[in-house]
Amino acid sequence: QSRDLCLRAAKPYMACHKLVMHKSSAEMVKIMDNCKHETFIGYLDRQTADIQKTIALLVADERKDESDFEKIRANIFQIAKSVYQTSLKTFPEENARLEFLDSRLAMIAQSWKSALDKAKTHHDEVRVLQEQLKLDTMEEILKKRKEIWEVAE
């Protein structure tokens, strides 16, 4: 029931908010958590699918360099999804899951920052662009993560 509301609404977590107003506290928390999970996974999947379409168009247009950069973006969304799915399997409590997700993504981003600094030092322009793209994409994901979870907090 909550899944259907989540999928139909333009802002799934808002639909869930309306649904839970008539439920017990425990039921409300569970429904809200499920909507947040579905919203985040859905966001990551949609972004990946959109990027894959862009990649196909770029490849068809023989724009390999640009398609390679889009492949990097798609990989970042998949990394975030994998880390999030691991948090779901590992931690029963929502706060622990989010701490795990945030800490892992921050750790990954830190390694990219180091790689960016190294690329700048060696004047490797392509690598600079790749590492900056990774960081920008991760920032986009973290912004969406915070948007989804802070709506109901």
**95-114 tens-digit pLDDT:** 999 999 999 999 999 999 99
In 3D space, the residue among 54, 81, 77 whose CA is nearest the CA of residue 134 turns out to be: 77
| Cα pseudo-dihedral 97, 101, 106, 111, rounded to 10 | 130
**13-59 tens-digit pLDDT:** 454 555 545 555 555 556 666 789 899 999 999 999 999 999 999 99
User: CA angle, 40 as apex, 149 and 38 as ends, to 5°?
Assistant: 105
What is the value of pTM for the model shown? 0.80
In 3D space, the residue among 16, 9, 67, 8 whose CA is nearest the CA of residue 37 turns out to be: 16
For the beta carbon of residue 41, count every other beta carbon within 10 angstroms. Answer: 15
